[in-house]
């Protein structure tokens, strides 16, 4: 994900002084994006309260992390939420804003795919989950290596894509649902990384691709989580059926005895 800086905020603030048609259209599209993501976040939060499945909580944290990142990046946070002084603090905390949703997504993947069944891959995943917070602390303490801020995050995204593909090859049904979403997310993340490095300006060539990708990916993940409810219900019914059969067998055994 692209690091935050002052320039996009200043440009956007100046553009609000004269609201031409394109600027109004731009604000409407961004508002629709934030509204859609907020609805998906609240929807999954309610499901978490009902199911108590930690996967939903991790996913909600990811969605709200993405929301905050985009609010700061496109300038909405500076215009409507924070004053200049607080916005400077937000910019200085860019390493947290970028890495936090990715960390939440890693925890979601670990829990959703039940990666403990893949021992070596799960160990590597745990190492990344430790490295991400360490890297956040490191980049908060120094700006000397600021241009490498997103390297570990991007490597982690690539690994999450790999472990999801691996789980799909191992016939993990849950992995089938999120593999497509991961492809969207990873492609968008790579384009943002290239844009941040000055190699390819995604905003000039493919406007709103990031917003469309995030909403599409969030929808697919939400469908996957909805399917998880059905899977959990089926597992519960199978367990109840096995318990009933076991009780019937035990009753018959005692009756014969």
DSSP notation for 65-95:
HHHHHHHHHHTHIIIII--HHHHHHHHHTHH
- By the 8 A CB rule, do 98 and 72 touch? no
Give residue 80's Cα distance to chain centre.
24
- CA trace torsion 120, 112, 100, 61 (10° rounding): -160
Instruction: Summarize the confidence of residues 62-75 as an average pLDDT.
Output: 81
Joined together, the tokens standing for residue 203 give: 């905003």
pLDDT exceeds 80 at position 2: no
Q: Which of 7-11, 54-58, 74-78, 249-253 has the lowest mean pLDDT?
A: 7-11
- The winner for highest mean pLDDT among 126-130, 182-186, 190-194 is 126-130
Please give the residue that has the higher pLDDT: either 128 or 92: 128
Report field, pTM of the whole predicted structure over 0.75: no
- Orientation of helix 173-196 relative to helix 209-256, angle to 10°: 160
Q: What's residue 7's pLDDT?
A: 46
Give the Cα separation of 178 and 136 in Å (integer): 27
Give the Cα separation of 229 and 193 in Å (integer): 35
The SS3 call for residue 78 is helix
How many beta carbons lie within 10 A of that of residue 76, not counting itself?
19
Please give the residue that has the higher pLDDT: either 6 or 57: 57
- Encode pLDDT of 93-152 as tens digits: 777 777 888 888 889 889 888 888 888 999 999 999 998 888 878 877 777 666 667 788
Instruction: Summarize the confidence of residues 191-212 as an average pLDDT.
Output: 71
pLDDT band for position 17 (50/70/90)?
very low
Joined together, the tokens standing for residue 204 give: 């000039």
Give the Cα separation of 184 and 157 in Å (integer): 11
- CA trace torsion 121, 181, 208, 64 (10° rounding): -70
- The winner for highest mean pLDDT among 105-109, 210-214, 229-233 is 105-109
pLDDT exceeds 80 at position 20: no
Q: What's residue 29's pLDDT?
A: 80
pLDDT band for position 15 (50/70/90)?
very low
- CA trace torsion 150, 152, 157, 158 (10° rounding): 120
Residues near 241 by Cβ (< 8 Å), separated by ≥ 6?
Answer: none
Please give the residue that has the higher pLDDT: either 79 or 218: 218
DSSP 53: -
Q: What's residue 124's pLDDT?
A: 92
Please give the residue that has the higher pLDDT: either 188 or 131: 131
Q: Kind and range of the H or E element at 82?
A: none
> Among 89, 44, 84, 50, which residue's Cα sits nearest to residue 66?
44
Cα→Cα distances 69→5, 42, 95, 179, 193, Å: 12, 17, 11, 24, 14
> Among 181, 182, 202, which residue's Cα sits nearest to residue 191?
202
Please give the residue that has the higher pLDDT: either 98 or 43: 43
């Amino acid at each position: 994900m692209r690091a935050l800086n002052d320039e996009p905020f200043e440009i956007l603030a100046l553009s609000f002084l004269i609201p031409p048609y394109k600027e109004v259209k731009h604000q409407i599209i961004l508002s629709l994006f934030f509204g859609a993501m907020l609805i998906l976040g609240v929807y999954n939060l309610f499901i978490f309260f009902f199911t108590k499945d930690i996967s939903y909580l991790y996913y909600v944290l990811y969605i709200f992390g993405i929301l905050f990142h985009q609010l700061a990046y496109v300038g909405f946070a500076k215009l409507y939420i924070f004053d200049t002084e607080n916005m400077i603090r937000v910019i200085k905390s860019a390493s947290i804003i970028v890495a936090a949703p990715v960390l939440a997504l890693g925890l979601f993947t670990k829990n959703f795919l039940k990666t403990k069944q893949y021992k070596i891959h799960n160990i590597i995943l745990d190492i990344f989950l430790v490295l991400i917070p360490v890297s956040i602390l490191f980049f908060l303490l120094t700006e000397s290596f600021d241009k490498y801020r997103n390297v570990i995050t991007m490597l982690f995204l690539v690994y999450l894509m790999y472990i999801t593909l691996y789980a799909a090859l191992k016939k993990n049904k849950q992995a089938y649902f999120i593999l497509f979403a991961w492809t969207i997310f990873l492609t968008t993340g790579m384009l943002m990384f290239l844009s941040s490095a000055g190699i390819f300006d995604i905003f000039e060539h493919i406007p709103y691709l990031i917003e469309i990708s995030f909403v599409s990916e969030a929808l697919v993940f939400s469908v996957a989580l909805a399917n998880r409810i059905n899977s959990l219900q089926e597992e519960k019914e199978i367990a109840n059926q096995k318990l009933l059969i076991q009780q019937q067998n035990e009753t018959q055994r005692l009756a014969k005895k």
